[in-house]
Amino acid sequence: MEPKQFKVAVVGATGAVGNLMVRVLEERSFPVGELKLLASARSVGKTLPFRGADMPVEELTEDSFEGVQVALFSAGGSVSRKFAPVAAGAGAVVIDNSSAFRMDPEVPLVVPEVNPQAAFSHKGIIANPNCSTIQMVVALKPIQDAVGISRIVVTTFQAVSGTGKRAIEELRLQVSDIVNGREPKREVYPHQIAFNCLPQIGPFLDSGFTEEEMKMVNETRKIFDDPEIRVCATTVRVPVFYGHSESVNIETRKPLSPEEARRLLEGAPGVKVVDRPAVSVYPMPIDAAGTDDTFVGRIRRDPSVENGLAMWVVADNIRKGAASNAVQIAETLLDGGRL
């Protein structure tokens, strides 16, 4: 019997994440029988390489999803709100990278290493969590399972690729202008990002938190299915191209030594422990870039609180934080016989 092949659509194929979804489908040998690359009308005429061929980009319309079995969306919330129900209505399973459906109680929010079973309850749409949430819950899952986590205080160092291609170009141009003595220009961010830190990702809410920070609170609770877990996040954009870093302080419900935490993490799916501080070995964004793993290091007791642990968590924000996690959700469905 021939192995089953699937008709897969990538919506937003010309964006930083969409582009990478196509590459990850190829790298991870997802059984793509037919690939549809969808984007707005102005991208028609472009092509993307897939398995040695140049695949044309087509315009996204209401009729784009005929026969599509898996639709990976990464074209922003408004495109998802309009077209994800269309794709699902045409029979596809939508895996949506936008925030449009993440907190919808009817829509599972899935990180395959953490809550794969949630994917099976979908009603046509599965949401891919926010990048900064994904790597944190991958790293904390074995600890949550073993002893329970009561509180998380997290500060992020987020790469510009999370904003998209134009932000990558903006950082590159700004550093080039500055080292050559020219005045840097800015278009994407409200302030210069080169050689700077911006304590803002996304719009602010009345509480003083940003939307990005509240995603880390609400998505963590949903993915862990634990409404009691308390999270305080500070999310910061830094002049890094690829790879988000997170300084994470947790309080566990029962005691857990750093050695036990390290042992749990060493056995956890999707996690690589990189923790030999004596020889300056710890996770860094330049090493995480291009991989699908979540790297954890600097695991130590936080002596400022009972049952406290501190750690440093790094992952490629557009791979594990977006494209790869989406493809892994499709693999979860496939492996579970749900495609």
Residues catalogued as catalytic: 131, 244
Residue 157 binds to a copy of itself (criterion: CB under 8 A):
yes
The Cα–Cα gap between 163 and 171 comes to: 11
Please name which of 64, 99, 82, 72 lies closest in space to residue 11, comparing C-alpha atoms: 72
Q: In the numeric block, which tokens belong to residue 245?
A: 């870093």
Q: In the beta sheet, which residues pair with residue 157?
A: 236, 245
Residues contacting 10, CB < 8 A, separation 6+ = 18, 21, 22, 25, 35, 36, 37, 38, 71, 72, 74
Q: How far is the CB of 128 from a copy of itself (least distance, A)?
A: 24
Asked if residue 61 lies in contact with residue 33, where contact means CB atoms within 8 angstroms, the answer is no
Span 200-239, contacts to a copy of itself by CB under 8 A? 200, 204, 207-210, 230-232, 234, 236, 238-239
| Residue from the set 188, 241, 253, 291 that interacts with a copy of itself by CB under 8 A | 241
The Cα–Cα gap between 113 and 269 comes to: 6
The Cα–Cα gap between 167 and 241 comes to: 9
Residue closer to a copy of itself (CB basis): 60 or 315: 315
Residue closer to a copy of itself (CB basis): 43 or 174: 174
Residue closer to a copy of itself (CB basis): 100 or 149: 149
Residue 47 binds to a copy of itself (criterion: CB under 8 A):
no
Residue closer to a copy of itself (CB basis): 58 or 287: 287
Question: How many residues in the shown chain lie near a copy of itself by CB under 8 A?
Answer: 57
Sketch the per residue contact string, 171 through 200, with a copy of itself: x for CB under 8 A, - otherwise.
Answer: xx--xx--x----------xxx--xxxxxx
Burial per residue of 276-310, b for 16 or more beta-carbon CB atoms within 10 angstroms, e otherwise: eeeeeebbbbebbbebbbbbbbbbbebeeeebbbb
Site of interaction with a copy of itself (CB under 8 A):
151-153, 155, 157, 171-172, 175-176, 179, 190-192, 195-200, 204, 207-210, 230-232, 234, 236, 238-241, 245, 247, 249, 258, 277-278, 280, 282-286, 297-305, 308, 310, 312
